[in-house]
């Protein structure tokens, strides 16, 4: 009570660090996790930008403190179990539950009840992924607010995000509850037969 419930982060910036202890949920992209780990290792975000995308974004000509612009470049971004390590480190900063999303590869979760990977659902006929991450975050919070356990909430969010990808645009294609539950009952998952 009284603190922030969730932070949805695409990119890390040191200014968010003071918020971390007050969070119940931290749901972030793999870019955020990669940038956080770079900052924790003592590298500047400017160095991380050079490593990740070869591009520097600055607000102030005198200092390189802003964030990298990945512009779709994913070389040198953390993957797989590296993201679970990042989730654990982020959880050490205070949030009770940390989820790091990895798109079609699912998500990684560090929580008081254990750490795990949730495979993504295979999206039917992908048209546009715009907004899939935002839809994932919203569906996750909806599921948790309605009492679904953590693993089930991540599966639900994964299904909603996969179905969103069937339509063009950020909000188009967001499924109904009935569509989502039907999809979850029969749809294949990444890495599962």
What pLDDT does 52 receive? 46
User: Among 67, 87, 118, which residue terminates a domain?
Assistant: 118
Residue 13 phi/psi, 5° resolution?
A: -140, 140
What pLDDT does 5 receive? 83
Number of domain units in the chain: 2
Burial class (CB in 10 A: 0-12, 13-18, 19+), 87: buried
Q: Strand 107-111's sheet: what is its strand order?
A: 6-9, 25-29, 97-101, 107-111, 114-118
Domain co-membership, 101 together with 156: no
Domain co-membership, 57 together with 98: yes
What pLDDT does 43 receive? 56
Q: What pTM does this model have?
A: 0.79
Contacts of 43 (CB under 8 A, 6+ apart): 51
Domain co-membership, 72 together with 90: yes
Residue 42 phi/psi, 5° resolution?
A: 95, -5
Q: If you write DSSP's letter for every residue of 170-181 in order, what string do you get?
A: SSTTPPPHHHHH
Domain co-membership, 125 together with 103: no
Residue whose pair of structure tokens reads 């659902």 in the numeric block: 121
Domain co-membership, 153 together with 183: yes
Radius of gyration (C-alpha) of the chain in whole angstroms:
17
What pLDDT does 61 receive? 34
Domain co-membership, 103 together with 136: no
Count Cβ atoms below 10 Å from residue 147 Cβ, excluding itself: 8
Distance from the first to the final alpha carbon of the chain: 43
Domain co-membership, 104 together with 33: yes
User: Among 87, 118, 149, which residue terminates a domain?
Assistant: 118
Domain co-membership, 177 together with 145: yes
Domain co-membership, 97 together with 142: no
Q: Coil, strand, or helix at residue 8?
A: strand
What pLDDT does 192 receive? 52
Q: Tokens at residue 96, please?
A: 């009770």
Residue whose pair of structure tokens reads 């909603």 in the numeric block: 160
Domain co-membership, 44 together with 61: yes
Q: Containing domain of residue 16, as a range?
A: 1-118
Domain co-membership, 105 together with 127: no
Domain co-membership, 96 together with 181: no
User: Among 118, 135, 170, which residue terminates a domain?
Assistant: 118
Mean pLDDT, contiguous 10-residue spans, the chain (193 residues): 71 90 93 89 56 42 38 58 92 95 94 95 92 94 95 97 93 93 93 54
């Amino acid at each position: 009570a009284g603190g922030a419930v969730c932070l949805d982060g695409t990119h890390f910036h040191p200014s968010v660090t003071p918020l971390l202890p007050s969070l119940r949920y931290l749901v972030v992209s793999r870019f955020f996790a990669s940038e956080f780990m770079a900052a924790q290792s003592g590298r500047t975000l400017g160095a991380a930008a050079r490593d990740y995308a070869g591009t520097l974004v600055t607000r102030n000509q005198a200092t390189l403190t802003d964030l990298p612009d990945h512009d779709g470049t994913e070389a040198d971004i953390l993957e797989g179990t590296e993201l679970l390590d990042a989730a654990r480190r982020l959880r050490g900063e205070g949030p009770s539950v940390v989820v790091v999303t990895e798109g079609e590869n699912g998500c990684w979760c560090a929580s008081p009840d254990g750490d795990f990977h949730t495979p993504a659902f295979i999206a039917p006929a992908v048209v546009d992924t715009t907004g899939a991450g935002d839809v994932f975050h919203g569906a996750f919070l909806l599921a948790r607010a309605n009492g679904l356990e953590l693993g089930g909430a991540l599966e639900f969010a994964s299904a909603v995000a996969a179905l969103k990808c069937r339509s063009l645009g950020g909000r188009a294609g967001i499924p109904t509850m009935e569509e989502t539950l039907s999809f979850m009952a029969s749809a294949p998952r990444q890495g599962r037969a």
